[in-house]
Amino acid sequence: MGRLNKKEVIAFARKILRTYFVESRLDFLISTFDDDIIWLGGGRMQKAEGKEDVANWFISGKNDMFPCVMENEDYQYMRLGDDYHMVEGVSDLYTSDNTEHIMFASQRITFIFKEEDRKLKTVHIHNSIPFDELKDEELFPVEYSKEQYDLLHEAYENKLSEIDSANEAIKNQAMLLNRLYQSVPSGILQLECEYPHNIIIANHKIGQIYGIDEKDIKSGNYYNLLYKKIIESEDNISKVLHNGGVIDYEREIIKYNKEKAWISVHLDVLNDVGGNDVIQCVINDITKQKHALIEKENEQKLENSLLRSAIFSSNEAILNLNLTADTYSIITSFEEVESDYRNIPRSGRYDDLIDKSCDLMVHPDYKEEYRIKFDRQNVIKQFKSGKKEIYMELMELGEDGEYHWKSYTFTRAENIYNEDIIGISIVKSLDKQRSERIRSEQLLKDALNAARTANEAKSDFLSRMSHDIRTPLNAIIGMSTIGKLKIEKPNSVLDCFSKIDSSSKYLLSLINDILDMSKIESGKVTLNDERFDFSEMIHEINEIIYDQAVEKGIEYKVYSDINMDKYYIADRLKLNQIFMNLLSNSLKYFSKGDFIHFSFKEVKRERGVSLIEFIVEDSGCGMSKGFLDKLFLPFEQENAGVARNNVGTGLGLTIVKNIVDIMEGNIEVISEKGRGSKFIVTLPLGIIESEEEAEYRKKKELLKGLNVLIADDDEIVAKQIEVIMNDIGAEAVKVNSGSAAVDEVKKKYENDEFFDVCFIDWKMPDMNGIETTGNIRRIVGEDTTIIIITAYDWSVIEDEGRRAGVNHFISKPVFEHTICDYLTDIDVKHIRHRHKKSAKSLKGRNVLLVKDNILNQEIAKSILEMRGMNVDTAENGKEAVDKFIKSDIGYYDMILMDIRMPVMDGIEATKAIRSSSHHRAQDIPIIAVSANAFKEDKIKAFDAGINGYLIKPFDAGNMMDMIEKFLN
pLDDT digits (tens, 9 = 90+) for 495-522: 777 767 766 766 666 676 666 666 666 5
Whole-number pLDDT of residue 644: 42
Confidence tier at 464 by pLDDT (50, 70, 90) = low
CATH class of 528-687: alpha beta
The span from the CA of 304 to the CA of 829, in Å, is 92
Strand partners, 558: 598
The rounded percent of the chain whose pLDDT value lies above 90 is: 17
Q: Which fold has domain 846-967?
A: Rossmann fold (3.40.50)
* CB 806 within 8 Å of CB 787: yes
CATH class of 6-151: alpha beta
Whole-number pLDDT of residue 304: 66
* Mean pLDDT calculated for residue range 858-868: 82
Q: Does pLDDT of 396 surpass 90? A: no
What lies within 8 Å, CB to CB, of 78 at 6+ separation is: 85, 86
What DSSP line would sit under 893-951, residue for residue?
Answer: SEEEEESS-SSS-HHHHHHHHHTS--TTTTTS-EEEEES--SHHHHHHHHHHT--EEEE
Whole-number pLDDT of residue 829: 33
Report the range of poorest mean pLDDT among 25-34, 381-390, 422-431, 541-550: 541-550
Angle at alpha carbon of residue 696, lines to 692 and 698, rounded to 5°: 120
Q: What is the dihedral of CA 660, 666, 672, 675, to 10 degrees?
A: -70
How many whole angstroms from its chain centre is CA 58? 87
CATH classification for the domain delimited by 315-524, as one of 3.30.450.20, 3.40.50.1010, 3.30.230.10, 3.90.1710.10: 3.30.450.20
The span from the CA of 864 to the CA of 839, in Å, is 10
* Mean pLDDT calculated for residue range 7-11: 92
* CB 699 within 8 Å of CB 728: no
* Domain 691-835: assigned CATH number: 3.40.50.2300
Residue with the bigger pLDDT between 178 and 221: it is: 221
The span from the CA of 958 to the CA of 247, in Å, is 108
Mean pLDDT of the chain: 79
Sheet order of strands, 731-735 included? 731-735, 707-711, 757-761, 785-790, 808-811
In this structure, is the dihedral angle defined by the CA atoms of residues 493, 499, 501 and 507, taken in order, positive or negative? negative
Helix (H/G/I), strand (E/B), else coil: 712: coil
Confidence tier at 340 by pLDDT (50, 70, 90) = low
b/e for 534-566, b at 16 or more Cβ within 10 A? bbebbbebbeebbeebeeeebebbbbbbbebbb
Confidence tier at 239 by pLDDT (50, 70, 90) = confident
Q: Does pLDDT of 955 surpass 70? A: no
Angle at alpha carbon of residue 105, lines to 103 and 108, rounded to 5°: 140
* Helix-, strand-, coil-residue percentages of the chain, each rounded to 5: 45, 25, 30
Residue 667, Cβ density class (10 Å: 0-12 exposed, 13-18 middle, ≥19 buried)? buried
Domain ranges for the chain, please list them. 6-151, 184-290, 315-524, 528-687, 691-835, 846-967
In this structure, is the dihedral angle defined by the CA atoms of residues 847, 851, 855 and 859, taken in order, positive or negative? negative
Report the range of poorest mean pLDDT among 254-268, 285-299, 812-826: 812-826
Report the range of poorest mean pLDDT among 378-382, 766-770, 820-824: 820-824
Confidence tier at 697 by pLDDT (50, 70, 90) = low
Do domains 184-290 and 315-524 share one topology? The answer is yes
Report the range of poorest mean pLDDT among 335-344, 558-567, 576-585, 694-703: 335-344
Q: Does pLDDT of 235 surpass 70? A: yes
Please tell me the pTM assigned to this model.
0.37
Strands 84-95 and 68-80: what pairing?
antiparallel
Highest average pLDDT, of 355-369, 459-473, 632-646, comes from: 355-369
The span from the CA of 631 to the CA of 639, in Å, is 12
What lies within 8 Å, CB to CB, of 176 at 6+ separation is: none
The rounded percent of the chain whose pLDDT value lies above 70 is: 78
Residue with the bigger pLDDT between 788 and 210: it is: 788
Element (H, E) at 189: strand 187-192
Helix (H/G/I), strand (E/B), else coil: 24: coil
Domain 184-290 has CATH 3.40.630.30: no
What lies within 8 Å, CB to CB, of 650 at 6+ separation is: 461, 464, 634, 635, 636, 637, 640, 643
How many whole angstroms from its chain centre is CA 819? 52
**Among the listed residues 497, 480, 351, 323, the one whose alpha carbon sits nearest the alpha carbon of residue 413:** 323
CA distance readout (Å), 765 to 215, 721, 768, 772: 113, 20, 7, 12
* Mean pLDDT calculated for residue range 714-731: 83
Whole-number pLDDT of residue 837: 42
Whole-number pLDDT of residue 877: 94
